Amino acid sequence: MGDVARVHDALRSYDSDGTFSEEDYLALRRLVSNVGRVDATLLDGFLGLFFERHIYADERRAELLALSHADLERAVRHRFKQVVAGGQDSHQAWHALSAHVREALDALAAPGTSGYPASLSTRQGFSAIAVEQAVAAVWSELRRKPSAKEATQELFARYVAGALPAESSQSSVREFPAVIGARLDAQRLARGIISVLSDDEKDLMRAQLDGQPIETWAQGRGVSRATAYRLLSRIKSLCRVEFDERSNRTRLEVLDALRLQL
Q: Is the pTM of this model over 0.75?
A: no
The closest of 164, 4, 176 to 76, measured between CA atoms, is 4
- Whether residue 28 lies inside any domain: the answer is yes
> pLDDT tens-digit profile of 123-150?
767 888 999 999 999 999 888 999 988 8
Do residues 84 and 7 share a domain? yes
Do residues 70 and 110 share a domain? no
**C-alpha 102: how far from its chain's center?**
22
Q: What percent of the chain has pLDDT over 70?
A: 88
- Whether residue 166 lies inside any domain: the answer is no
Do residues 73 and 138 share a domain? no
How many beta carbons lie within 10 A of that of residue 137, not counting itself? 21
- Whether residue 100 lies inside any domain: the answer is yes
Residue 178: the pLDDT is 75
Do residues 112 and 72 share a domain? no
Do residues 84 and 95 share a domain? no
- Whether residue 148 lies inside any domain: the answer is yes
- Whether residue 207 lies inside any domain: the answer is yes
Do residues 81 and 20 share a domain? yes
Domain final residue pick, 63, 89, 115: 89
Domain carrying residue 103: 91-160
Alpha helices, H only, the chain? 3-17, 22-32, 40-54, 58-65, 69-88, 91-107, 128-142, 148-155, 178-195, 199-209, 214-221, 225-243, 248-261
The CATH number that applies at residue 241 is 1.10.10
Do residues 82 and 117 share a domain? no
On whether the CB atoms of residues 138 and 150 are closer than 8 A, the answer is yes
On whether the CB atoms of residues 4 and 32 are closer than 8 A, the answer is no
What is the total count of domains within the chain?
3
- Whether residue 168 lies inside any domain: the answer is no
Do residues 46 and 97 share a domain? no
How far is it, in rounded angstroms, from Cα 165 to Cα 153?
19
Do residues 71 and 98 share a domain? no
On whether the CB atoms of residues 144 and 108 are closer than 8 A, the answer is no
- Whether residue 7 lies inside any domain: the answer is yes
Do residues 122 and 198 share a domain? no
**C-alpha 215: how far from its chain's center?**
33
Domain final residue pick, 54, 89, 124: 89
Burial pattern 166-182, b for ≥16 Cβ within 10 A else e, equals: eeebeebebebbebbeb
- Whether residue 147 lies inside any domain: the answer is yes
> pLDDT tens-digit profile of 232-249?
998 888 888 777 767 776
Range with the lowest mean pLDDT among 78-87, 103-112, 160-169, 250-259?
160-169
Domain final residue pick, 89, 117, 132: 89
> pLDDT tens-digit profile of 170-225?
455 566 677 777 777 777 778 778 888 888 999 999 898 888 899 999 999 898 98
